[in-house]
Amino acid sequence: GEVFLNGQYVPYAEARIPVEDRGFLFGDGVYEVVKIYRGRPFRLREHLARLQRSAREILLELPDVDWEGVVDRLVRGGGLADRDATVYIEVSRGSGPRAHHFPPAGTPPTVLALAREFPGVPPEYRERGAAAITHPDLRWARCDIKSVNLLPNVLAKEKAVRAGAYEAILVRDGVAIEGSSSNFFAVLDGAVVTHPEGPHILSGITRAVVLGLARDLGYRVVEAPIRVSDLGRASELFVTSTTAEVMPIVSVDGNPVGAGRPGPVAASLLEAFMRLV
C-alpha cells in the first residue's frame, strides 16, 4: 500500500524520512490514531481538532491538508474499504542539524499518515475482561498534548505485558489517572467515574463519547479523581480508547474487581458504543 508523506502518496517501502527528523531525534511532534469501521472513519473531525490543538500547544504550525481526502484515499487505496483499520497521523517539526531549539522559520514539518488493517481487540478480552497493573505515572505535566514522546507510556505498557496484563494504570499521588494508552473509568456507588480533563490526562475522543452514552443511558456521571484506595470497592473498572473501545478490567495487580467478570455497566456502554460506529 501507499502512505501519505508531505503531500504525496508514496509506496510504503519507498517512503523516506530524513535521519535528522526532529520526531526521531527529539520526539518533537504530535500524533493521532483514528479508527476505521468498515471503511468509515469514526469521529475524524474530533481527532483532527485534537491534532490541531496538540500542534498549537507545542507551537507547531500544521500545514493545510485535506485530511478527509487523505484518510479516504489511504483506506480505499489500501483495500480497506470494507475492513476495520486504523489510520496513524504524525506531524513532526521537520528536520535539520540537531539543535534543541526550533529549526529556522520556514522549515517544513514532516507530515505522515498511514492506514493499517486492525482486526480489533482479542475477543477473549471482551468476554472475560482484561487484567491491569498499577504503575507510577512518570510522565510530564502536559499529558493533555498527544505528543510522540511516549517513553513512560511504553515502559509502563511493557511492564503490564510482561506481567500478563493488558494495560498499566498510571498512578500519581495516589490517584489512578489513566491507562498508558487509554482513559480509566470506575463504577463507584453506581456512578460512572473518570478523571476530569486537565493537564494530567489525554482528553480521549472515546472518553467523551462514552461519557455521553453513560448520560444517555441514565447513569450518574462523575468527573473526579479516582483514588487507588477506592479501587477495591469499585463494582467495575474499564478503560476506553480508539482501539480498545470499552475494555472491562477484571483484575488489578492480581486482585479481582467486583465479581472478577465484565460487569453490566461496561457491557451496556460497549453495546451502545458499537451502535454508533
C-alpha cell at 127: 468476554
Our finding on whether 90 is near ligand PDD (CB under 6 A) is no
| Binds ligand PDD by CB under 6 A, chosen from 205, 214, 234, 270 | 205
- Minimum distance, C-beta of residue 242 to ligand PDD, in the bound complex (Å): 3
Our finding on whether 183 is near ligand PDD (CB under 6 A) is yes
From the list 35, 146, 157, 159, the catalytic residue is 146
Our finding on whether 267 is near ligand PDD (CB under 6 A) is no
CA dihedral 141, 144, 150, 152 (to 10 degrees): 40
| Binds ligand PDD by CB under 6 A, chosen from 204, 248, 262, 263 | 204
CA atoms within 13 A on the CB side of 102: 13
Specify the DSSP element, H or E, that contains 273: helix 264-276
Our finding on whether 137 is near ligand PDD (CB under 6 A) is no
What's the CA gap between 91 and 113, in Å, rounded?
A: 9
Residue 115 near residue 1, CB atoms below 8 Å? yes
8-state DSSP, 14 = G
- Minimum distance, C-beta of residue 70 to ligand PDD, in the bound complex (Å): 19
- Annotation says 146 is catalytic: yes
Residue 130 near residue 165, CB atoms below 8 Å? yes
42 alpha carbon, distance to own chain's centre: 13
Lay out the site mask for ligand PDD across 13-52 (x = CB under 6 A, - = otherwise).
--------------------x-------------------
- Minimum distance, C-beta of residue 202 to ligand PDD, in the bound complex (Å): 4
Residues annotated as catalytic are 146
Q: Give residues in contact with ligand PDD (CB under 6 A).
A: 33, 153, 178, 181-183, 202, 204-207, 240-243
